[in-house]
Structure 1
Amino acid sequence: MTGSVVVGYTATDAGADAAALGARLARSIGATLHLVIVLPTEGTRSAAVPPERAYEDVIRTQARKWLQDAVVRLPQELVRSGHVRFSESFAEGLIAAGEEFDASVIVIGTAGGGLFGRHRLGSVASELLHSSPIPVALAPSGLAQQDDHVLPRVTVAVGTRPGAEGVLDQAVALAGAAEVSLRLVSLVPFDVPPGLDTGAIRLAGSEHAHRVLAVAAEQLPDGLGAVVEEAPGETVEDAVAGLSWLPGEVVLVGSSRLAQPRRLFLGSTAAKMLHELPVPMIVVPRTRNEAGDR
């Protein structure tokens, strides 16, 4: 995983959580961090708000002040900067900024009202998770209140649906750049139709996970390990709740099979995982030229 880290920043607790996760990722892989505030363009503002240059100057000045305050609070060893952008939507502006800065990931916080340490998707996250061509990292509520961390490990949820290879490639790249180990968790038991023999499903999932493990081990730099961990449970939620998590780690998942190539689409499995995850999730777009693409 190369390129910069772009954070969708707001002067809120969710913005602080996003900035903290962005800093964690940037420190771990040696990337430049860009905090981006997206303001509405003239055509998207309420009719009650006068489209005057003076108004634009006021909100731009305030946004820059928020960015300055946020940048100062970031780890001093980071190469970091703040930017104000105007767009018809926050998500659209972030995607444009991600492409402008050659971002490897766009980071956003949870919607207001989420439980501490958990995820709650708002409109911006939902829009990004159904349109972005760049991986999106979701910061759970309260992340900014945790101790500063670099990544101690990367977990990747692997399955057999289209997009699985792309997710593994991204996870291997992130683990390699951060110089940490990789943990594989099989989603195969949840990728098959209900009603099949449970024992056979588990066996197939274990075999698939170990095949993927062999591929990952070959791709990782020397000295970095990869392991498979079984996630017991009859549902995705049970499986995620039964896993142990290291402080500071992240989990990567793929887009739904409904996603267009090089676009995100949050699938039902990833959405279910979010309900139980106490760590950040990075959702990876489907790549082009995969089996099944048309």
Structure 2
Amino acid sequence: MTYVVGYGPRNDDRSALELAFQFARSRPGPVVAVSVVPQGWGTPVAAGVDREYEAWAAGEGQRSAELAMADSAHHRDLAAEAVWVTGRSVPATLIDQATDRDAVLIVVGSAEDAAPGRVRLTSKTDRLVHSSPLPVAIAPRGYRTSSRVARVTVGFRGDDAGWSLLDRVAGIARSSAAHLRLVTFLVDPARRPVTTDVSHAQAQVIDVWTRQAVAAQAEAVVHVRTLGFADDEIEYGIAAAPDWGAAVSSVGWTEGDVLVVGSSSTHRLAQVFLGSSASKILRNAPVPVVVVPGAGA
């Protein structure tokens, strides 16, 4: 079991490594920091320039690997390695490295302009999330922790994709001795979901959604018990609010929490598509977020 970390050549934030080591404390396995540097052109015409460029890239890669090992020294009790590789595409190269190493997770950090403690994708990590066959974990900007994963919160929708996600995450939480929390986020739509002259129609629709969510969660809790979770290891609830920020913050978060979301169940590329709800949850999450591709990936 290996955790592959995307580590930038000029990284000034070790949050991705911190998150990877947190996972490694929960489910033991080596952490491999991978720095991807540009490839040379490889053409005879630009041979001289290409050699200079490759030498520069090699120097960048070596320095990045050394920095990664220095950052890993904060966790001397856990196995760590740092490598640098060349590649045309950072997301594709990270996926190749993870596949070659039989990794269970790819871990990346947030954008440099993300607010401290918040998750924000870069253009590269956005492509990674939408193309990886493996789960991708995103650390909040400046993330630091010495804890293990104590509780896994699943964004549960109650549809087929939600049930598939629940089974996968429950198995991971069980093997990590982490508690499992099911949360269904209900946010009032910006526009009425129906056109009608009936008074309070939107409130009635929200009420129907809530009853359906409660029923789905009750069924899910019964299912989770059959997977070996005791009652004191299961939490569940509805997070209803007028906007996503309020809904996500209303859940309550503590150190050791990790949030898991799945891909869209309605998009034709469901196995790789991060739906609008998951994207909004991710942007408002104050804890690490793991994006799990659909079962078809």
Name the TM-score, length of structure 2 as normaliser.
0.85
Q: What does the per-residue CA deviation read over 1:46-92, in whole Å, with 9 as the maximum and x for residues that have no partner?
A: x9996533542443244233223322432112121112222211101
2:134 — aligned with what?
A: 134
Overall identity of the aligned pairs, in %: 28
In the TM superposition, residue 6 of structure 1 has moved relative to its aligned partner by 0.7
SS at structure 1 position matched to 2:261? strand
Counterpart-to-counterpart distance in 2, 1:222 and 1:49: 64
Q: Which moved more, 1:232-241 or 1:173-182?
A: 232-241
Q: What does the per-residue CA deviation read over 1:186-221, in whole Å, with 9 as the maximum and x for residues that have no partner?
A: 247789x93462222111101101111121222146
1:163 — aligned with what?
A: 161
2:196 — aligned with what?
A: none
Is the Cα contact below 8 Å between 1:259 and 1:286 reproduced in 2?
no
| Structure 1 residue 283 corresponds to structure 2 residue 282 | no
Counterpart-to-counterpart distance in 1, 2:48 and 2:174: 51
1:214 aligned to which of 218, 222, 241: 222
| Structure 1 residue 102 corresponds to structure 2 residue 102 | yes
In the TM superposition, residue 286 of structure 1 has moved relative to its aligned partner by 0.5
Q: Which moved more, 1:221-230 or 1:241-250?
A: 221-230
Q: What does the per-residue CA deviation read over 1:222-246, in whole Å, with 9 as the maximum and x for residues that have no partner?
A: 6971121221313433211211001
Equivalences, count: 281
In the TM superposition, residue 112 of structure 1 has moved relative to its aligned partner by 1.6
Structure 2 residue identity aligned to 1:199: D
| Structure 1 residue 260 corresponds to structure 2 residue 277 | no
SS at structure 2 position matched to 1:134? coil
Q: CA RMSD in A?
A: 2.7
| Structure 1 residue 4 corresponds to structure 2 residue 19 | no
Extract unaligned runs of 5+ from structure 2.
194-201
Structure 1 residue identity aligned to 2:273: F
Q: Which moved more, 1:66-75 or 1:84-93?
A: 66-75
1:66 aligned to which of 64, 67, 82: 64
Is the Cα contact below 8 Å between 1:63 and 1:84 reproduced in 2?
yes
Q: Which moved more, 1:237-246 or 1:160-169?
A: 160-169
Q: Residues 137 and 201 (structure 1 numbering): CA distance in 2 closer, same or farther, change over 3 Å? A: same
Is the Cα contact below 8 Å between 2:186 and 2:240 reproduced in 1?
no
Q: How does 1:124-273 map to 2 (within 5 A)?
A: 124-143=124-143, 146-187=144-185, 194=193, 195=202, 197-220=205-228, 225-257=233-265, 258=267, 260=269, 263-273=271-281
Larger Rg: 1 or 2? 2
